[in-house]
């Protein structure tokens, strides 16, 4: 487990410049460090080789992805790249239709589009509309995904706007495509399955290849640098992978076609991922608490992401972790303890009789008194004292949501009720 007492120096850097005049200003966010050879060289010799091999594998896949695209453009005489159609979230990929629908012409068409947008490394980008057309020569694998608010010093500014999130687990990418392909494979005739199965297995190999030696997964792979290289629970990235691997390893529903060898490989990756979850549960004052959105891949210390996403305990992501752990049928003592500790932290951190909503003042959303409402949880809690904290685009960190800009108050989910669902399932699980 991650002991908060060992992170004081790191957190001091993240919460520096404390204002002597305003209790609302907590500090300034600092950037996460990318995975690099120089950082790997500082590791103990017994683990260094595995990380060097991992970084080399990432670099080779990155070069291969770009070479494929450049060669394709040259062979087809293309000088101007094409941006693919965009769609928020899962790219209009339906996972809840009746099983028979996945044998329909519409489902087959989407599956063919999915296969066409798979990167040479085996993953997919995010926010792609998978209902429009198959990828054409010279069409980018990702449509940019750049922030409209990025500044030269922005923590989310990509090194190459045309090559951003090319292969990612963010916003359900890659996992959603694999789940859809599995449903189509299960519903298709023998003659239609081969191409989809090949794509599915390449996608699983992508997941295996991108897993860190310590069991975690980055947000983007091949590695892109910055916070994208961190172990990422944010937006369910790592938990989405583990949920998929659990289903594959147990040959659940549409995954019965997967071979025993692949199931065993999925099970091994799953176990390493669970170990990573247990190690990264934060301990404060000798008590296990919750999880952070991101962790440095090498040090396992809490890490920042975008300007307004600081190192902190994250309630929404922790709810997802807890729900996943409760899915494991043969829970060990360590897993059971992690679940019970997270539930206790949720109970202690709940905000009651409050609502986060627009008011009559018409100046955006505010946290207001609302007797009987809730419970709510802040998205972020400071690790050392469990105080709610909030970030802004200028990287400042505050202990009240009222202190941040209206654009961020209205444009980000600072409060959530997701832990309530986890606690309800916990009541059934513990019986």
Please identify every residue annotated as catalytic: 171, 306
Q: List the beta strands (DSSP E) in 280-376.
A: 282-284, 287-288, 294-295, 313-314, 354-358, 365-369
Residues 6+ apart with CB under 8 A from 198: none
Rg (CA), the chain: 22
Q: Is the peptide bond before 202 cis (omega within 30 degrees of 0)?
A: no
Residue keyed to tokens 């025993």: 260
Q: What is each CA distance from 348 to 28, 83, 355, in whole angstroms? A: 27, 47, 18
**Rounded to an integer, what distance in angstroms lies between the CA atom of residue 394 and that of residue 235?**
22
Residue 27 Cα distances to 12, 100, 386, angstroms = 9, 54, 15
The dihedral formed by the CA atoms of 282, 10, 415 and 96, expressed in degrees to the nearest 10: -60
Please give the backbone phi and psi of residue 3, each rounded to the nearest 5 degrees, phi first: -90, 125
Give me 391's structure tokens: 């970030």
Check: CB of residue 188 under 8 Å from CB of residue 194. Answer: no
CA 359 – CA 372 distance, rounded (Å)? 18
Residue 118 tokens read as: 């798979």
DSSP 8-state class, residue 311: S
Judge whether 379 and 415 are in contact, CB under 8 Å. Answer: yes
Tokens matching residue 313: 């305990």
In which element (H, E) is residue 3 found? strand 2-3
């Amino acid at each position: 487990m991650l002991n908060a007492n060992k992170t004081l120096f790191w957190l001091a850097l993240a919460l520096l410049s404390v204002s002597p005049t305003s209790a609302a200003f907590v500090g300034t966010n600092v950037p996460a460090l990318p995975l690099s050879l120089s950082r790997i060289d500082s590791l103990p010799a017994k683990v260094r080789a595995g990380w060097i091999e991992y970084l080399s594998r990432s670099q080779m896949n990155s070069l291969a992805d770009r070479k494929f695209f450049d060669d394709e453009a040259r062979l087809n005489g293309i000088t101007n790249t094409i941006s693919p159609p965009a769609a928020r979230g899962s790219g209009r990929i339906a996972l809840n239709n009746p099983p028979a629908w996945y044998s329909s012409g519409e489902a087959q068409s989407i599956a063919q589009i999915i296969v066409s947008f798979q990167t040479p490394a085996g993953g997919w980008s995010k926010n792609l509309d998978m209902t429009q057309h198959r990828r054409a020569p010279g069409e980018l694998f990702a449509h940019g995904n750049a922030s409209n608010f990025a500044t030269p010093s922005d923590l989310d500014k990509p090194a190459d706007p045309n090559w951003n999130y090319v292969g990612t687990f963010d916003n359900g990418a890659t996992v959603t495509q694999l789940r859809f392909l599995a449903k189509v494979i299960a519903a298709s005739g023998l003659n239609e399955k081969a191409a989809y199965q090949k794509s599915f297995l390449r996608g699983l190999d992508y997941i295996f290849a991108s897993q860190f030696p310590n069991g975690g997964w980055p947000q983007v792979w091949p590695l892109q640098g910055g916070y994208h290289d961190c172990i990422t629970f944010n937006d369910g990235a790592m938990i989405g992978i583990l949920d998929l691997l659990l289903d594959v390893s147990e040959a659940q529903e549409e995954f019965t076609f997967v071979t025993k060898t692949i199931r065993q490989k999925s099970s091994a990756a799953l176990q390493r991922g669970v170990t990573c979850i247990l190690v990264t549960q934060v301990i404060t004052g000798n008590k296990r608490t919750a999880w952070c959105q991101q962790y440095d891949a090498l040090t396992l210390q809490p890490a920042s992401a975008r300007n307004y996403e600081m190192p902190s305990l994250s309630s929404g992501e922790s709810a997802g972790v807890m729900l996943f752990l409760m899915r494991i049928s043969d829970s060990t003592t360590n897993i059971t303890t992690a679940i019970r500790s997270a539930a206790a932290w949720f109970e202690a951190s709940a905000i009651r009789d409050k609502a986060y909503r627009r008011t009559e003042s018409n100046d955006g959303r505010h946290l207001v008194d609302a007797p009987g409402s809730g419970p709510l949880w802040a998205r972020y809690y400071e690790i050392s004292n469990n105080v709610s904290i909030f970030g802004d685009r200028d990287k400042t960190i505050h202990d009240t949501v009222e202190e941040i800009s209206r654009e961020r108050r209205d444009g980000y989910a600072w409060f959530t009720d997701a832990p309530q669902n986890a606690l309800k399932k916990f009541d059934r699980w513990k019986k």
